[in-house]
Chains A and B, each alone.
Chain A
Amino acid sequence: MSTLTARQASLLSCHACGRLSQGRDGDSCPRCGAALHGRKPESIHRTWALIVTASILYVPSNILPVMRVVSFGQDKSDTIMGGIIHFMRTGSWPLALLIFFASIVVPVLKITILSFLLISVQRRWRWKPETRTRLYRLTVTIGRWSMVDIFVVTLMVAVVSMGALATIEPGPAAMAFALVVIATMLASHSFDPRLIWDQLESSDQETP
């Protein structure tokens, strides 16, 4: 590749205002005063840490009950998967699919994609950088939709509060699951997609 990159030109883009200025890591932006970084600082570390956190929290979020429904003296606690199975059994297939997608598939997908991207960067793979960038964009886009489950729980808790007739309380898994979603979102934000391309760049420079 013969194109000159900003990095090669010693140009750093400000994360805050986007101004391109010449300098080194740690310099401050001449316009807004924000610290300048060539790449997101400790990107791989942070992403890994957050992904590990998310993976750890993912376990209790699926084992513990996410919602506790007390109706007519009947106490009923459901895990996420239990709720999905319940909806499936009662015939609400679209709802079951939606929750399954938002609560199970998306977090797993995000963690998997980010892990794959991180590994690919660390191993200096050169495999289809465009696809990988697209995958990254996907994780950023769908990330927030995992919160659907939490929204449902919070809404239900607020709406269904009829004393002895029916009460809904959030279970411990709701908190864990919210943390999983937050962790994955932060992880996808702390990951710098430019690292995918850095590898190609450096190898380009090495090869010639």
Chain B
Amino acid sequence: MTEPVQEPESTTEAAEPPVWTHRRLPTVWLIPLVATLIGIWLAFNAYVDKGPTFTIAFRSGEGLEAGRTKIKCKDVEVGKVKAIRLSPDREKVLVTAELTRDAASLLTGNARFWIVRARVSTSGVSGLGTLLSGAYISMDPGDPGKPARSFEGLEMPPIVTSQQDGRLFTLRAEKLGSMTAGSPVYFRQIPVGEVAGFDLEKDGQAVSIKVFVRAPYDQLVHKNTRFWNVGGVDVTVDTNGIRMSSDSLIDLLMGGVAFENPISLEPVQPTPEHHVFSLYASHDRIYEQVYQDKRYYVLDFNESVRGLTRGAPVEFRGLKVGQVEDLKLEFNAQKLEMHVPVLITIEPERLSVLGGGGVGSMDAVMEKLVARGLRAQLKVGSLLTGNLFVDLDFYPQAAPRSLDRYGKYREIPAIPTTMGALISNLTKFLDRLQKLPLEDITGELKTSIPALRESLQQATALMSRLDKETAPQAQATLAQAQATLATLEKALRSDSPVQSDLRRALDEFAKASRALRDLADTLDRNPESLLWGKEKEK
């Protein structure tokens, strides 16, 4: 068995370990090679797909789960929460998340994140889907900007996301009213946008409100556009009386902003960037422009200013030119005089100067006007409320005064109220009335009244007698007179016999008188005829 044994030995040699010295690797090694390639490809893919990691700070991590919570942009998953931990100061929840590679470019400083949970608010119910799926983090990429890796999460979903077309406008208001983020913005009562947010201005003097107007309505906003607050019930008591206005019930609860383009003489201009609109308190106010140029003057009323309040209008012939800014009581200890200086503003921009150009030096103009008789007077704006306003007008007959100085202000001379004059006249009249001896008069009256009554009774008796006795006779006489008159009328008629007789008689009388005249003539000429008779005809 030596030979056969040797032979297998050699075959064993070929099949045994020397495989490693084989020049050509068996094809079977292609399998791990392919597997490795696939592995490398997968790893490479995974590496390439690995997006940026970033952190978001939230106030609360409610509903968030590491490794589960997704980050969605426009409801498309773009990332996942990797870890949740507390910030070192334990104030915030730091959420570490990873975005997919293709969404990495969205991660700019303008990106905003908020947690989407089921929410029920006055503006509706949102995020119901999260009841089943759990909360997720929504992302609004915002405008392109510098890449950022650290973000502050929003507590409330933003009203305006970069997915919506439209424009943001800034409004400046004295107070917020019943407005909240999400309150509607109306144009002709059509909801065209929403209140995006509000903030107190740095000096705390006003509220800055951001409103978002959706496209294409944002084109309607011009430089002249007026915004006003439609929320709540607006009760105004001023010199025009009492007014109350409110819009729909929803607006009452939620507040809202409306805007309008008033028809005005000003040209339509596009809204400049960063233009701040004024938010008017009500629709009525939108026509009151806000004037920047203000001149202060002092009025010294030497009378009661009850009913005059701050903000009361200063009018010139019924048109507002300014308003009352301040009033106080001043005591002059030396002269022992009380004064009520009233500080007013006059807004020269309200005047349109003929021929263009400005008013010029306001004080110089005012000085001339005062010289011409410009005076301030308190007038009653509303009899109901007794509110006063300041009226400026020319009183050429007033005592000449000049524009005095009053501290740092100039003083426009004032004249007493017409009402005050009226009241003083009335008082005088009442005083005189009081001085009348009313008691004596009444005593006398008391005594004369019975006598008066007696004479009245007598008069009545007389009247009744007259009625009983005289009246029938009078009636008969009257009837007779009537008959006589009728006869007379008959007699006097032209065709009556009396008249014709009379006429005939008169004719005869005329003839007789003519004959008498002839006789007289004859006698005048031939007086002898009286003796000799009528001269015979020759």
User: A59 and B29 in contact (CB under 8 A), knowing A38-B11, A124-B17?
Assistant: no
How distant is A113 from chain B, measured CB to nearest CB, in Å?
A: 18
- The answer to whether B39 and A45 have CB atoms under 8 Å apart is no
Report the nearest A residue to B77, measured CB to CB: A75
Q: Which residues of B contact A4 (CB under 8 A)?
A: 1
- The answer to whether B15 and A39 have CB atoms under 8 Å apart is yes
How distant is B412 from chain A, measured CB to nearest CB, in Å?
A: 74
User: A52 and B32 in contact (CB under 8 A), knowing A4-B1, A45-B26?
Assistant: yes
Q: Which residues of B contact A76 (CB under 8 A)?
A: 68
In order of increasing CB-CB distance, the 9 nearest A-B pairs are: A73-B133, A52-B32, A72-B132, A53-B32, A53-B35, A10-B4, A56-B35, A49-B28, A46-B28
How distant is B372 from chain A, measured CB to nearest CB, in Å?
A: 82
In the bound assembly, the distance between CA atoms of A76 and B69 in angstroms comes to: 10
In the bound assembly, the distance between CA atoms of A81 and B19 in angstroms comes to: 38
- The answer to whether B4 and A8 have CB atoms under 8 Å apart is yes
User: Is A74 located at the chain interface by the 8 A CB criterion?
Assistant: yes
User: Is A169 located at the chain interface by the 8 A CB criterion?
Assistant: no
A36-69 at interface with B (beta carbon < 8 Å): 38-39, 41-42, 44-46, 49-50, 52-53, 56-57, 59-60
Mark each residue of chain A from 117 to 161: 1 if its CB lies under 8 Å from any CB of chain B, else 0. 000011010000000000000000000000000000000000000
B15-42 at interface with A (beta carbon < 8 Å): 15-17, 19-20, 25-26, 28-32, 34-36, 39, 42
User: A60 and B39 in contact (CB under 8 A), knowing A8-B8, A53-B31, A72-B132?
Assistant: yes
In the bound assembly, the distance between CA atoms of A7 and B4 in angstroms comes to: 9
Q: Which residues of A contact B4 (CB under 8 A)?
A: 8-10
Q: Which residues of A contact B7 (CB under 8 A)?
A: 10, 24
In the bound assembly, the distance between CA atoms of A24 and B12 in angstroms comes to: 11
User: A25 and B39 in contact (CB under 8 A), knowing A8-B8, A53-B31?
Assistant: no
Besides A38-B11, A45-B25, A57-B35, 19 more A-B contacts (Cβ < 8 Å) are: A4-B1, A7-B12, A9-B1, A9-B4, A38-B8, A44-B17, A45-B19, A46-B28, A49-B31, A50-B32, A53-B32, A56-B36, A60-B39, A73-B133, A74-B68, A74-B132, A122-B17, A198-B16, A202-B12
A residues with a Cβ closer than 8 A to B are 4, 7-10, 24-25, 38-39, 41-42, 44-46, 49-50, 52-53, 56-57, 59-60, 72-76, 121-122, 124, 172, 179, 183, 195, 198, 202
Report the nearest B residue to A165, measured CB to CB: B132
Q: Which residues of B contact A50 (CB under 8 A)?
A: 28, 31-32
- The answer to whether A73 and B132 have CB atoms under 8 Å apart is yes
Mark each residue of chain B from 117 to 146: 1 if its CB lies under 8 Å from any CB of chain A, else 0. 000000000000100111000000000000
Q: Which residues of A contact B30 (CB under 8 A)?
A: 49
Q: Which residues of B contact A72 (CB under 8 A)?
A: 132-133
How distant is A109 from chain B, measured CB to nearest CB, in Å?
A: 20
In the bound assembly, the distance between CA atoms of A124 and B31 in angstroms comes to: 26
Report the nearest B residue to A10, measured CB to CB: B4
- The answer to whether B42 and A60 have CB atoms under 8 Å apart is yes
Q: Which residues of A contact B29 (CB under 8 A)?
A: 45, 49
How distant is A191 from chain B, measured CB to nearest CB, in Å?
A: 13
In the bound assembly, the distance between CA atoms of A25 and B42 in angstroms comes to: 41
- The answer to whether B39 and A59 have CB atoms under 8 Å apart is yes
- The answer to whether B134 and A74 have CB atoms under 8 Å apart is yes
- The answer to whether B132 and A46 have CB atoms under 8 Å apart is no
In the bound assembly, the distance between CA atoms of A41 and B28 in angstroms comes to: 11
Q: Which residues of A contact B263 (CB under 8 A)?
A: none
How distant is B368 from chain A, measured CB to nearest CB, in Å?
A: 80
Q: Which residues of B contact A56 (CB under 8 A)?
A: 32, 35-36, 39
Q: Which residues of B contact A38 (CB under 8 A)?
A: 8, 11-12, 15
How distant is B81 from chain A, measured CB to nearest CB, in Å?
A: 13
- The answer to whether A25 and B32 have CB atoms under 8 Å apart is no
Q: Which of A25, A46, A172 has a CB less than 8 Å from the CB of B15?
A: A25
Which of A4, A8, A38, A198 has the most B CB atoms < 10 Å from its CB?
A8
Q: Which of B1, B26, B39 has a CB less than 8 Å from the CB of A46?
A: B26
In the bound assembly, the distance between CA atoms of A92 and B32 in angstroms comes to: 37
Report the nearest B residue to A41, measured CB to CB: B15
- 25 interchain pairs (CB within 8 A)? A4-B1, A8-B4, A8-B5, A10-B5, A38-B8, A42-B19, A42-B26, A42-B28, A44-B17, A44-B19, A45-B28, A46-B28, A49-B29, A49-B30, A50-B28, A52-B32, A56-B32, A72-B133, A73-B129, A73-B133, A74-B133, A75-B70, A121-B17, A179-B35, A202-B16
